[in-house]
């Protein structure tokens, strides 16, 4: 057993420590003190997560429900609570202050343990159906009632998904490596394959380096997709790759498909297909037509990647991206939506087949394996259209044809490249006839005035700090949003409001938008050190989560290269 107070004290140390190496040392020491049975959850909790990003399980507690609970436990009105949050700048610090003032014998009657806290989180996530909100409030109230002020501070931050202690994946990786004397690249690869630091930490302690090297992918557990860089031209891409595979960049949504034809061996569940979105959400239940296609076309147990494209039945051209999201989000009348918005699936990579990881194979070999695993069904599920060439002229012709079909452009893939999950490396390029864009998260907003009164109409954009996981401001955007979208944005963002202060609101970083801009400038005004000049919203990226947003490092790279 471990008292939750110990974890809260580690959070407090991490928040007060700016240095990356010092943070790593704190976590290294804590991992060495952690009971073995808790290692499967401690790494997630240190990053402010309760469940893995790819898990369908979630707490289902937003700011409104949390504030109701805090108000109930402390006896303070919601308005006074919001005022205190505004003064402190953070709900966790506000709750700590309120709990310090509150003198009540019901507090601190039972010491919290990490085990009890996590079990309560699981029970909160399980609450569903009629009366679920009431049960969630009761469970969380019981937890907070037993919490000391410091514990309450980090409990509410964890519930909101805003731990704010500056710990991201790189620090956890290095701490596990230090704690168990294993090279960081071995830990990195184990995490890359399993997408589970809990499993990695447990294996590292019990089985050491040999155990980590034996970890592999499992059907049913998604891995992060490899990301592409933007190339300014086909000529540049061929210069970097030589003879390369050119594929249509389909105007759809990326999916990762897990197909199991096995009997339960190798950790696979017997039978079935699971489909994960770009942000690793399980969307299987919304796509029964895709499940049918996969069962018909994919002949081996495999993890494959593709693009789901919403097709206009009459023109055969791609439909709007929002139509794709309507399919992904659908919970009811799914069959009716299949008729209205049919999908075609284009498969372009394979990561795992018949019990073996393929990510170390070259793309050329992976494509050959893919051709043996997938039997295309015309206008249902097909392999991505491809040519292999080093001819700029041939590639330009292929690119033009992709655009004529209504797609976004082309992908250029190095034939000799491995697959590196979660990385943006120079093995794969995208070429589109549009300027560079960034995927950023909205971290704040201003209430509009005049015609825009009553709407959140100016949005503060945040880029992710890859080291700490913090979202740092890179500018404010108000253009590119219609009045209809203003209303939609406001309705979407209102439940994410953490506090208001003088017409400015702080938002839980959740809504991702694709933003175009004219230029990147150095800026002392923003904590990121950069500002976007003339940014405008292109579209909402509901297929991406805050963890998928572009990093400050990427903005710095673009800043350095924009005048070359």
Cα-atom radius of gyration of the chain, to the nearest Å? 24
Dist CA 461 CA 535 (whole Å):
10
| Residues facing residue 438 across a β-bridge | 515
Dist CA 463 CA 443 (whole Å):
9
Q: Computed from CA positions of residues 354, 358, 361, 365, in that sequence, does the dihedral angle turn out positive or negative?
A: positive
Known catalytic residue: 36? no
CB 469 within 8 A of CB 168: yes
CB 320 within 8 A of CB 327: no
CB 40 within 8 A of CB 202: yes
Report helix angle 63-74 to 132-145, nearest 10. Answer: 50
Tokens of 177: 């490596």
Dist CA 557 CA 97 (whole Å):
41
Dist CA 304 CA 298 (whole Å):
9
Dist CA 450 CA 437 (whole Å):
30
CB 444 within 8 A of CB 505: yes
Dist CA 234 CA 430 (whole Å):
9
Closest of 474, 479, 478, 484 to residue 459, by C-alpha: 478
In the block, which residue shows the tokens 């082309």? 410
Count other C-beta atoms under 10 Å from residue 141's C-beta.
Answer: 14
CA distances from 115 to 10, 73, 78, 438 (A): 16, 22, 30, 40
CA distances from 358 to 226, 303, 366, 535 (A): 13, 10, 7, 40
SS3 303: strand
Dist CA 177 CA 171 (whole Å):
10
Task: Choose, from 82, 199, 224, 249, the residue flagged as catalytic.
Answer: 249
Phi, psi dihedral angles at 162 (to 5 degrees): -130, 75
Please write down the HEC assignment for all residues of 337-360. HHHHCCEEEEEEEEEEECCEECCC
Closest of 288, 286, 325 to residue 309, by C-alpha: 325
* Rounded (5°) CA angle 216-220-221: 55
* Rounded (5°) CA angle 7-89-120: 35
SS3 56: coil
Q: What residues are annotated to the active site?
A: 249
């Amino acid at each position: 057993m471990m008292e939750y107070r110990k974890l809260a004290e580690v959070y407090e140390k991490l928040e007060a420590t700016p240095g990356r190496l010092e943070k790593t040392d704190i976590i290294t020491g804590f991992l060495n003190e952690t009971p073995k049975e808790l290692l499967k959850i401690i790494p997630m909790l240190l990053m402010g997560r309760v469940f893995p990003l790819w898990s369908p399980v979630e707490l289902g507690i937003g700011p409104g429900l949390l504030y109701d609970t805090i108000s109930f436990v402390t006896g303070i009105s919601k308005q006074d609570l919001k005022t205190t949050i505004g003064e402190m700048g953070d709900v966790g610090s506000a709750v700590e202050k309120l709990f310090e003032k509150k003198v009540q014998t019901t507090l601190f009657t039972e010491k919290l343990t990490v085990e009890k806290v996590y079990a309560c989180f699981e029970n909160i996530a399980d609450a569903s159906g009629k009366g679920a909100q009431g049960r969630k409030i009761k469970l969380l109230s019981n937890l907070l009632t037993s919490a000391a002020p410091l514990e309450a501070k980090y409990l509410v931050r964890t519930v909101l998904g805003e731990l704010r202690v500056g710990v991201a994946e790189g620090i956890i990786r290095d701490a596990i490596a230090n704690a168990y004397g294993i090279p960081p690249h071995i830990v990195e690869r184990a995490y890359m394959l399993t997408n589970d630091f809990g499993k990695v930490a447990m294996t590292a302690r019990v089985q050491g380096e040999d155990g980590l090297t034996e970890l592999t992918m499992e059907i049913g557990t998604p891995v992060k997709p490899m990301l592409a860089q933007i190339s300014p031209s086909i000529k540049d891409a061929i210069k970097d790759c030589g003879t390369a595979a050119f594929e249509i960049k389909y105007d759809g949504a990326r999916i990762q498909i897990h197909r199991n034809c096995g009997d339960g061996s190798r950790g696979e569940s017997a039978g079935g297909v699971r489909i994960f979105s770009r942000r690793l959400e399980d969307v299987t239940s919304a796509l029964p037509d895709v499940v049918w296609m996969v069962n018909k076309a994919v002949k081996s147990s495999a993890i494959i990647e593709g693009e789901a494209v919403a097709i206009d039945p009459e023109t055969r051209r791609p439909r709007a991206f929002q139509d794709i999201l309507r399919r992904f989000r659908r919970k009811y009348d799914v069959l009716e939506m299949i008729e209205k918005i049919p999908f075609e699936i284009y498969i372009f990579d394979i990561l795992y087949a018949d019990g073996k990881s393929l990510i170390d194979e070259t793309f050329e070999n992976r494509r050959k394996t893919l051709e043996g695993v997938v039997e295309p069904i015309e206008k249902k599920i097909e392999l991505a259209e491809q040519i292999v060439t080093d001819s700029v002229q041939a590639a330009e012709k292929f690119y033009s044809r992709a655009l004529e079909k209504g797609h976004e452009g082309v992908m250029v893939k190095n034939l000799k490249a491995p697959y590196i999950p979660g990385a943006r490396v120079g093995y794969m390029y995208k070429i589109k006839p549009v300027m560079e864009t960034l995927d950023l998260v909205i971290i704040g907003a201003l209430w509009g005035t005049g015609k825009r009164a009553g709407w959140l109409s100016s949005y503060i954009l945040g880029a992710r700090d890859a080291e700490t996981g913090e979202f740092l401001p890179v500018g404010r955007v108000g253009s590119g949003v219609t009045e209809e979208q203003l209303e939609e944005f406001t309705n979407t963002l209102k439940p994410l409001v953490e506090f208001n202060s003088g017409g400015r609101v702080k938002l839980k970083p959740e809504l991702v938008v694709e933003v175009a801009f004219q230029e990147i400038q150095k800026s002392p005004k923003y904590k990121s050190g950069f500002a976007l000049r003339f940014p405008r919203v292109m579209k909402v990226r509901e297929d991406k989560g805050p963890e998928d947003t572009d990093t400050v490092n990427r903005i710095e790279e673009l800043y350095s290269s924009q005048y070359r």
